[in-house]
Amino acid sequence: MSKAKRNRKVNKQTKQRYIWAYIFILPQILMFLGLSLYPIIMSYVYSFYDWSGVGPMNDFVGFDNYLKVFTEEMFWNAFKNTFVYTAGFVTISVTSGLILALILNNPKLKGRVVYRTLFFLPVVTTMAIVGIIMKNIFGNTGLINQVLQMIGVIDEALPWLINPVTAMIVLILVGSWKETGIIMIYWLTGLQMIPKELYEAAKIDGAGSMQVLRYITLPLLAPIGATILLLTTVSSMRVFDLVKTLTNGGPFYSTETLELYIYRFAFASEGQSQIGYASTVGVILGMTVFIISLLLGWVVLKLNKQKGKNDLKTEMKKI
Amino acid sequence: MSSRVSMGLTHLALILFGLIWVYPFIWMVSSSLKTNASFLTSGVNPVPEKLHWENYERAWNVANFSGYFLNSVVITLGTVIIVVTLSCLTGYALGRVNFPGRRAVIAITGAMMFIPTGYTIIPLYELMKFLGLSNTIFGVILAESSGAHVLFILLFAAFFSRVPNEIEEAAIIDGCGFLKIFFKVILPSAKPVVATAVIMQFIWTWSSFLIPLVLTLNNPELRTLAVGMLSFVGKYQTDWTGMAAGASISLLPVIFIFILMQRYFIEGISGSVK
Look at residue A313 in the predicted model and tell me its pLDDT: 57
Residues of B in contact with A10 (CB under 8 A): none
Instruction: Name which of A126, A150, A186 is nearest B206 (Cβ-Cβ).
Output: A126
Cis peptide before A107 (omega within 30 of 0): no
Q: Angle at the Cα of A283 (from A269 to A27), degrees rounded to 5?
A: 100
User: What rounded mean pLDDT belongs to chain B?
Assistant: 85
Summarize pLDDT for B2-56 with one digit per residue, the tens: 678 888 899 999 999 999 999 999 888 888 888 877 777 766 777 777 788 888 9
B231 compared with A97, residue with greater pLDDT:
A97
Q: What is the separation of C-alpha B274 from the centre of its chain, rounded to a whole number of angstroms?
A: 22
Closest by CA to B96, choosing from A30, A24, A8, is A24
Interface test with B, best of A35, A243, A279, A295 (most B CBs within 10 A): A35
HEC sequence for chain B? CHHHHHHHHHHHHHHHHHHHHHHHHHHHHHHCCCCHHHHHHCCCCCCCCCCCCHHHHHHHHHCCHHHHHHHHHHHHHHHHHHHHHHHHHHHHHHHHCCCCCHHHHHHHHHHHCCCCCHHHHHHHHHHHHHCCCCCCHHHHHHHHCCCCCHHHHHHHHHHHHCCCHHHHHHHHHCCCCHHHHHHHHHHHHHHHHHHHHHHHHHHHHHHCCHHHHHHCCCCHHHCCHHHHHHHHHHHCCCCHHHHHHHHHHHHHHHHHHHHHHHHHHHHHHHHHHC
Interface test with B, best of A14, A40, A54, A129 (most B CBs within 10 A): A129
Residue in A closest to B237 by C-alpha: A136
- How many of the other CB atoms lie within 10 Å of CB of A61? 16
Residues of B in contact with A232 (CB under 8 A): none
Q: Kindly tell me if the per-residue pLDDT of A227 is higher than 50.
A: yes
A216/A160 Cα distance (integer angstroms): 42
- How many of the other CB atoms lie within 10 Å of CB of A271? 6
CB contact under 8 A, B207 and A121: no
CB contact under 8 A, A275 and B122: yes
B257/B203 Cα distance (integer angstroms): 8
Instruction: Name which of B14, B97, B254 is nearest A125 (Cβ-Cβ).
Output: B254
HEC sequence for A87-104? HHHHHHHHHHHHHHHHHH
Q: Kindly tell me if the per-residue pLDDT of B169 is higher than 50.
A: yes
Q: Kindly tell me if the per-residue pLDDT of B273 is higher than 60.
A: no
Interface test with A, best of B19, B27, B119 (most A CBs within 10 A): B119
Q: How much of chain B, in percent, has pLDDT values that exceed 90?
A: 30
Summarize pLDDT for A199-211 with one digit per residue, the tens: 888 888 887 888 8
Summarize pLDDT for A243-266 with one digit per residue, the tens: 999 998 889 899 999 999 999 998
Q: Is A208 exposed, middle or buried (0-12, 13-18, 19+ CB in 10 A)?
A: exposed
Q: Is A147 exposed, middle or buried (0-12, 13-18, 19+ CB in 10 A)?
A: middle
Look at residue A319 in the predicted model and tell me its pLDDT: 45
B147/A31 Cα distance (integer angstroms): 8
Q: Kindly tell me if the per-residue pLDDT of B248 is higher than 80.
A: yes
Q: Kindly tell me if the per-residue pLDDT of A50 is higher than 70.
A: yes
Residue in A closest to B200 by C-alpha: A124
What is the value of pTM for the model shown?
0.88
A263/B260 Cα distance (integer angstroms): 36
If you count them, how many residues does chain B have?
274
Our CA-based measurement puts residue B255 at a distance from the nearest CA of chain A, in whole angstroms, of 7
Residues of B in contact with A29 (CB under 8 A): 105
Query: Distances in Å between the alpha carbon of B94 and those of A10, A296, B157, B253, B273?
Result: 20, 29, 6, 34, 20
User: What rounded mean pLDDT belongs to chain A?
Assistant: 86
Instruction: Name which of A132, A147, A290 is nearest B230 (Cβ-Cβ).
Output: A132
Q: Supply the ipTM of this predicted assembly.
A: 0.86
Closest by CA to B112, choosing from A39, A219, A296, is A39
Q: Is A188 exposed, middle or buried (0-12, 13-18, 19+ CB in 10 A)?
A: buried
Our CA-based measurement puts residue B1 at a distance from the nearest CA of chain A, in whole angstroms, of 14
A253: left (phi over 0), alpha (psi -120 to 50) or beta: left
Summarize pLDDT for A14-43 with one digit per residue, the tens: 888 899 999 999 999 999 888 888 988 999
